[in-house]
Amino acid sequence: MLILAGLGNPGAQYARNRHNIGAMTVDAIADHWRFSAARSRFSSLAREGEISTASGPVRTLILKPQTFYNESGRAVGDALAFYKLSPADLAVFYDETDLAPGRFRMKTGGGAAGNNGIRSIAARIGPDFRRARMGTGHPGHKDLVHGHVLSDFHKVDAAWVGSLIEACSGPALAYLAAGEDERYQAEVMRLAPSAKLDPRAPAKGASAG
């Protein structure tokens, strides 16, 4: 079984924030793959279904934690414990200020790089889970990060945001479900190439969550 968690803050006022791109993505995944309707489980909105891969369907649980972003570990940890899964059975989609807008990188393990949602999950289950890092850019100074991630995407961002979410949630997801994270990353970036993206925000900076 695979768990896909999308980080964000609950409530309509946060729905279009940069901090919520992970939550937007798992909603798109559940819709694309025709998962069940959402229900409350594990302090989250949860949807169940299957992702088709070359070797067969992979049973998958979508989690959109309804804790606040910085407490995501509680929801994710409860789900892994219930199903007796390991951190390797979890992939977390979240915003990454260390990546330029529209860039996408997969990694397993490592530090939190200042992201409090990732720190919360690592504190609960350990660091060795899979991370789908969705670039939202950096505002240029660490003191501006908090306001940056808690502000809505601009209208000019709509094209790359939609392209990245569509690439992450569509057929390429079969590679992630099959454990082929590098191939998934390559396919997402092929479908949402960085050359078409807004280059305004610098790629480097301290992440915040």
Catalytic sites, residue numbers: 19
Taking a C-beta distance cutoff of 8 angstroms, is the pair 7, 92 a contact? yes
Distance CA 116, CA 192 (A): 27
The Cα angle at residue 151 between residues 46 and 40, in degrees rounded to 5: 15
Distance CA 187, CA 135 (A): 16
Name the strands in the sheet holding 104-108, side by side, starting at the edge strand that comes first in the sequence.
39-41, 44-53, 56-65, 2-6, 90-96, 130-135, 104-108
Distance CA 71, CA 59 (A): 26
Distance CA 78, CA 199 (A): 39
